[in-house]
Structure 1
Amino acid sequence: MSRDEHRHIPTLKRELAEGKITRRDFLRYSSLLGLSAAAAYKFAGDITGVKFIPTARADMPKGGTLRVSMRCPTIADPHIFQWVYDSNITRQVVEYLTLTGHDNVTRPGLLEGWEASDDLMTWTLRVRPELKWHSGRDFVAEDVAWNLNRVLDPNTGSSVLGLMKGYMMNDAGDGLWDANAIEVVDGKTVQLNIKVPQIAVPEHLFHYPLPMIDPDENGVFGVGSNGNGAFELVEYVQNGKATLVARDDYYGDGPYLDRIEFVDLGDDPSATLSALSSGQVQGSYEGTIAQIDIYRGMPGVSVHEATTAKTGVARGQVDQAPFDDPRVRRAMRVAIDPPRCLELAHANSGAPGEHHHVCPVHPDYAVLPAIQRDPEAAMALLAEAGHPDGIDVEIACKGDPPWELAAVQTMVEQWKEANIRVNINLLPSADFWDVWDKVPFGFTSWTHRPLGFMVLGLAYRSGVPWNESHYANPEFDAVLTQAEGTLDLEARRELIRQLEVIMQEDGPITQPLWRSVYSAWSDKVVNFAHHPTSYIFGNTLGLNA
């Protein structure tokens, strides 16, 4: 993938051989620096004795229609998607420059490869030379530059801005930091000339609101839209069904299916269970924890599980009373018992939350002492903040999936003991999506990200589109930008530790739990595995008759 080995890769090889970093960390960071996944796996296998066995493709069954139960919201502009399942529809048509797989290793997608400069401030992206749009037009560097410029335009409102603001934007956040920040070198090469070092550029290019859409369509996606993937969208009914038909000119593996249909069965998880049991669908986007044992006992169905950094947070907008006082925010954290929340809301499937949104599965996670539940300390903080009789607030949430409401209900009961009286405003999913980033206090689910600092940039960096809490802390922003450009794992872990402390002491969230997730699929489906971010790659799947 990389023409010249980055100077830090020999250090990673030495640290793996000396046992200073894990095999997982070596694979992840060497691939980000441009070492091919195959070469990284081979070296790691030679050192650790764990060999990589690629998935066999030659005997994949051909043909058939795969039906999957999944929500079908609006898909009009992929660059402003807010939920993963939107992208599972469009990703079959419009693909990404890179691909972070089930193993959290990032590989080329529409790119042939990339190189990073030694100082991590110049990233050279090489487009596959043979790649074409479905229309027959060559996919070129100008297409890449147009997409990057569009998602980094604040007027677009893309969450990509949260990932890239620190190294691509000016200090005001209203434009690129330099006129040549996105440079078209030639017809198949784009160079990113960035403001500060950044290790995770290839993973950022796989953020789900960053597919490569056709500039000629000006950001509008729908039935018949041009693409570069294995399928084309031939039917779409919002909140109903999406139908995709395979193409015969795909550049990569597959497709093996003739058609994929995503069927929206609504908020009730029992509808998916019934449809899978009766064979009306062959797969589900994600199952509820309450039904996992039912699926495990269902003939001809397998449960596919994944350990993830998925979570949910209760966040207050810090420019709205009473959440404008950090003592109130700390009181809400001290008043809950995360292990009990995990037990009651998610059947102990996952890990207790730690109120800083960095997960134990992240390689740069730093261990901090757990915050112990102390309602009396919470009441003392409230009194100090001018609320001796406690506070009354309302939290907005949705009931789909059920664990979200269960987590909120558990916290509400625990908050009562600290004189934090919370009314639950339970909204239908469609209504919640319209206000999730607008309500003063809400419970929001967040999906998995491979590195600890990625969601911190998306959700808590000042002034970015997904900063639903309106949190703005210059110290946090500065340390976050430094962490994003630090290659040495131990040095970055220390920076992440500082961010975790800031979040626990000053941050806008109360975090009850981390989630392990699963989905249930018919045994007739071949080659499915649950991605940590619940992505579905239709071109890799087959269906036995």
Structure 2
Amino acid sequence: MLGLLSYLRGMQDVEKVDDYHIRLHLQTGNIGVPEHLFHYPAVVLHRDFEGDIIKKPVGTGAFTLEEYAEGERAVFKRRTDYWKKGEDGEPLPYLDELIYVSTDKDAGVAALQSGQVDTLYDPRPTDFQALKDVEGLTVRPVSTAQCLLLRMRVDLEPWDDNRVRTALKKCQDRAKILQLSYFGEGDLSIDAHMAPVHPAYCEKDFPPYDPEGAKALLEEYATEKGISLPLKVT
């Protein structure tokens, strides 16, 4: 927990409010606090936890861990005392058992195609193409919070100059990148870490694809600084 909290820069104090609440005192605002605290390294454990999550798992989920073989499989059984109910008023979960089987991606796709497994965890973009037309399978693309991005160190040259940062944005054909890498399945970035499903997301414009404009900005910067800063666009 302390290691995770160190990620929250500017943490001043943690105050106990009552038996079920704490108050975090930060030097600055940090919208990521809820995400940091529900991340798996910050799982809340009972004070009597002995340190082996496999032998004695602790949690409030809908299943209990019945079997675990590292690199092979994990078996989860339905909890009969789970607190949550479905929209139909019946106790959750509906499934009696879940079996996770460890395999490489290609073998997983083949197992799904042949009916040996019911679903595939974390498929690749190419797997979507391989599975979308298979009879008996339903592929439902949804927006997630996963973001792929390029970070620019604004405390280092040349990224401390907005002209250079804008040039990098202008030289990206975002729609084409999305099409080539994810077959068009995804959302275009707004130059922020937040995906459309994130509560901090807001609609905003971003520089359109303009390689000539990017080159002009870099030439202006290079002339002012007296350096050469080439831009290659492929």
With normalisation by structure 1, the TM-score equals 0.35
Structure 2 distance, partners of 1:339, 1:258, is 43
Structure 1 distance, partners of 2:158, 2:27, is 36
Q: Which residue of the other structure, out of 373, 376, 388, is the alignment partner of 2:209?
A: 373
Q: Give 1:348 deviation, angstroms.
A: 2.2
State the match for 1:388 in structure 2: 228
State the match for 1:314 in structure 2: 150
Indicate conservation of the 8 Å contact 1:214/1:227, yes or no.
no
State the match for 1:192 in structure 2: 23
Structure 1 residues 215 and 236: CA distance shift in structure 2, 3 A:
farther
Q: Are residue 211 (structure 1) and residue 43 (structure 2) matched?
A: yes
Q: Are residue 333 (structure 1) and residue 152 (structure 2) matched?
A: no
State the match for 2:70 in structure 1: 237
Structure 2 distance, partners of 1:201, 1:293, is 34
Structure 1 SS opposite 2:128: helix
Which residue identity lines up with residue 226 of structure 1 in the other structure?
A: V
Deviations 1:327-360 (A, max 9, x none): 4433222211112212222222223223223444
Structure 2 distance, partners of 1:212, 1:231, is 16
Structure 2 SS opposite 1:331: helix
Which residue identity lines up with residue 103 of structure 2 in the other structure?
A: L
Indicate conservation of the 8 Å contact 1:225/1:232, yes or no.
yes
Q: Are residue 352 (structure 1) and residue 168 (structure 2) matched?
A: no
Indicate conservation of the 8 Å contact 2:172/2:209, yes or no.
yes
Structure that is richer in helix per residue:
1
Q: Give 1:202 deviation, angstroms.
A: 10
Structure 1 residues 182 and 219: CA distance shift in structure 2, 3 A:
farther
Q: Are residue 271 (structure 1) and residue 103 (structure 2) matched?
A: no
Which residue identity lines up with residue 73 of structure 2 in the other structure?
A: K
Deviations 1:169-204 (A, max 9, x none): 22xxxxx2x6xx233x34xx3343656998979954
Which residue identity lines up with residue 209 of structure 2 in the other structure?
A: R
Q: Which structure has the higher relative contact order (CA within 8 Å, separation 6+)?
A: 1
Structure 1 residues 309 and 196: CA distance shift in structure 2, 3 A:
same
State the match for 1:416 in structure 2: 232
With normalisation by structure 2, the TM-score equals 0.71
Structure 2 distance, partners of 1:201, 1:375, is 34
Which residue identity lines up with residue 137 of structure 2 in the other structure?
A: V
Indicate conservation of the 8 Å contact 2:79/2:93, yes or no.
yes
Moved more, 275-284 or 319-328: 319-328
Which residue identity lines up with residue 259 of structure 1 in the other structure?
A: E
Structure 2 SS opposite 1:350: coil
Structure 1 distance, partners of 2:67, 2:94, is 18
Structure 1 SS opposite 2:111: helix
Structure 1 residues 380 and 220: CA distance shift in structure 2, 3 A:
farther
Q: Give 1:308 deviation, angstroms.
A: 3.2
Indicate conservation of the 8 Å contact 1:233/1:245, yes or no.
yes
State the match for 1:531 in structure 2: none
Structure 1 residues 417 and 225: CA distance shift in structure 2, 3 A:
closer
Structure 1 distance, partners of 2:200, 2:4, is 29
State the match for 1:490 in structure 2: none
Q: Give 1:231 deviation, angstroms.
A: 0.8
Instruction: Give structure 2 stretches of 5+ with no counterpart.
Output: 85-90
Indicate conservation of the 8 Å contact 2:131/2:137, yes or no.
yes
State the match for 1:182 in structure 2: 16
Indicate conservation of the 8 Å contact 1:243/1:261, yes or no.
yes
Indicate conservation of the 8 Å contact 2:190/2:203, yes or no.
no
Q: Map 1:74-473; keep pairs closer than 5 Å.
A: 150=1, 153=2, 156-157=3-4, 161-162=7-8, 169-170=11-12, 176=13, 181-183=15-17, 185-186=18-19, 189-192=20-23, 194=25, 204=35, 207-209=38-40, 210-217=42-49, 221-229=53-61, 230-232=63-65, 234-238=67-71, 240-252=72-84, 253-266=91-104, 268=105, 270-318=106-154, 323=159, 326-361=162-197, 365-383=201-219, 384-385=221-222, 386=225, 387-390=227-230, 416-417=232-233
Structure 1 distance, partners of 2:209, 2:43, is 43
Structure 1 residues 281 and 158: CA distance shift in structure 2, 3 A:
farther
Structure 1 residues 222 and 364: CA distance shift in structure 2, 3 A:
closer
Indicate conservation of the 8 Å contact 1:236/1:242, yes or no.
yes
Structure 2 SS opposite 1:261: strand
Q: How many residues align?
A: 222
Q: CA RMSD in A?
A: 3.8
Indicate conservation of the 8 Å contact 1:182/1:190, yes or no.
yes
Which residue identity lines up with residue 192 of structure 2 in the other structure?
A: H
Structure 1 residues 193 and 348: CA distance shift in structure 2, 3 A:
closer
Which residue identity lines up with residue 376 of structure 1 in the other structure?
A: E
Q: Give 1:275 deviation, angstroms.
A: 0.9
Q: Give 1:312 deviation, angstroms.
A: 0.7
Structure 1 residues 246 and 202: CA distance shift in structure 2, 3 A:
farther
Q: Quick check: which has more Rg, 1 or 2? A: 2
Deviations 1:478-499 (A, max 9, x none): xxxxxxxxxxxxxxxxxxxxxx
Which residue identity lines up with residue 228 of structure 2 in the other structure?
A: P
Structure 1 residues 388 and 284: CA distance shift in structure 2, 3 A:
same
